[in-house]
Amino acid sequence: MSGAPAGVVVVGAGLGGIRVAESLRANGYTGPITLIGAEAHPPYDRPPLSKSVLLGKDDRVDLKPTEYFAESSIELRMGERVSAISPDDHTVTIERPDDPAHSETMVYDALVLATGLTPRALPGTEGVQGVHVLRTIDDALTLRGEIDSAARAVVIGAGFIGCEVAASLNQRGLSVTLVEPAPTPLAAALGTEVGALVTRLHQANGVDVRTGVGVEEIVDDGTAVTGVRLADGTALDADLVVVGIGSIPVVDYLDGSGIELAPRESGGGIACDARGATSAPDVYALGDVANWATGDGGTRRVEHWTHTVEQATEVAHRIAQSDNMIPAAPAYFWSDQYGLKIQVLGRPAPTDELHLVDDDGTKFLAYYSRDGLLTAVVGAGKVGAVMKTRPKLLTPTPIADVLE
């Protein structure tokens, strides 16, 4: 390639996209950076969508002020979608959903894929008024717009987003039922013992938690939702239904590119080495869509905020060939429910041994261990105690030392 550098093209202007662009500049990268985002909004933060936005406290949750992009020489292209990639030519094809005739090719030196997830829908509910998923700010504002005229909500799926939505709708005065086929909320992430504490939290706030039962059917009157029928035959009335049954990595634009995807049984998404490189030269992936090698022969795809930021930093360092140190940090994520911060530090597995060391009926603190070693700490309303565990999660620490 000759002439001016084509620079770094980032596909996906969400958290991972903006953070890789920001970190490239922070690490001295001076070439062009183009950030392409399919949504008609500048990069915004998703965690508040199920919390302060639904509660009516925030309307905008932008990650950067408008002037940031010009000041940092980052070209932000909103409302544009990358529809194809040619690793051999080092090009992407860009389309504009609002202008079907538009198709443009852009050359890259390095390409970063940060295209996130799309929520799984319940088949047959598309277009039924009152049935929602939550991934984008448009989803959140549409859902919020229906809260005042609703009385009864059913939230399907008690993962983190389902639990947060149930809490927010409850706090907005709706009668809420939370439905989950697993034995407790958050069972897959935190195990059933901590899941039971989360059930207790929801019940204490008046949410009807139905676990161990799936959904048979969403009932509507031809236009709008009227209820949900559970697999055990229970009929729940509802004028608002939120479906939180997981999400799928956005990889459709990679068809025909030859870029390797991870098998579905290992989490799917874009297969990467342990520092974010895909199977194509000069193409990297990060964030919710990326499935990185873990260095111990495994792979992992994670759908959490801090993890995305850490991967963006790693990829930016690699592209900018920076020697700057990236400090080691244990895995971390959080969830806010009923004003209580639930924090998870480390990597708990549902099969780990659980050590509940503090529980006052609302707030709690629990450690997880495997083969005698500390794997994680989970706290609700226990910020100080959780954070104190950080150094112990950076080296193998006997659980006995933590409990003494």
Ligand X SMILES: Cc1cc2nc3c(=O)[nH]c(=O)nc-3n(C[C@H](O)[C@H](O)[C@H](O)COP(=O)(O)OP(=O)(O)OC[C@H]3O[C@@H](n4cnc5c(N)ncnc54)[C@H](O)[C@@H]3O)c2cc1C
Residue ranges in contact with ligand X by CB under 6 A:
11-17, 36-39, 46-47, 49-50, 81-82, 114-117, 134-135, 161, 250, 253, 287-289, 303-306, 308, 333-335
Nearest residue to the partner ligand X, using Cβ: 14
Q: How far is the CB of 2 from ligand X (least distance, A)?
A: 28
Taking the C-alpha atoms of residue 33 and residue 26, their distance in angstroms, rounded to an integer, is 13
Are the beta carbons of 163 and 190 closer than 8 angstroms? no
3-class secondary-structure state, position 76: strand
Q: How far is the CB of 332 from ligand X (least distance, A)?
A: 8
Between residues 68 and 334, which has the closer beta carbon with respect to ligand X? 334
Please state the separation of Cα 125 from the chain's center in Å: 23
Q: How far is the CB of 3 from ligand X (least distance, A)?
A: 26
Between residues 117 and 319, which has the closer beta carbon with respect to ligand X? 117
DSSP, residue by residue, 1-21: --SS---EEEE--SHHHHHHH
Rg (CA), the chain: 22
Between residues 16 and 195, which has the closer beta carbon with respect to ligand X? 16
- Residue of 355, 75, 342, 115 whose CA lies nearest to 247: 115
Between residues 114 and 262, which has the closer beta carbon with respect to ligand X? 114
Q: How far is the CB of 223 from ligand X (least distance, A)?
A: 26
- Residue of 245, 242, 227 whose CA lies nearest to 131: 242
Q: How far is the CB of 58 from ligand X (least distance, A)?
A: 13
Paired strand residues for 95: 81, 103
Between residues 90 and 301, which has the closer beta carbon with respect to ligand X? 301
Q: How far is the CB of 114 from ligand X (least distance, A)?
A: 4
Are the beta carbons of 350 and 360 closer than 8 angstroms? no
Between residues 171 and 226, which has the closer beta carbon with respect to ligand X? 171
Give residue for tokens 């319940």: 122
Paired strand residues for 254: none
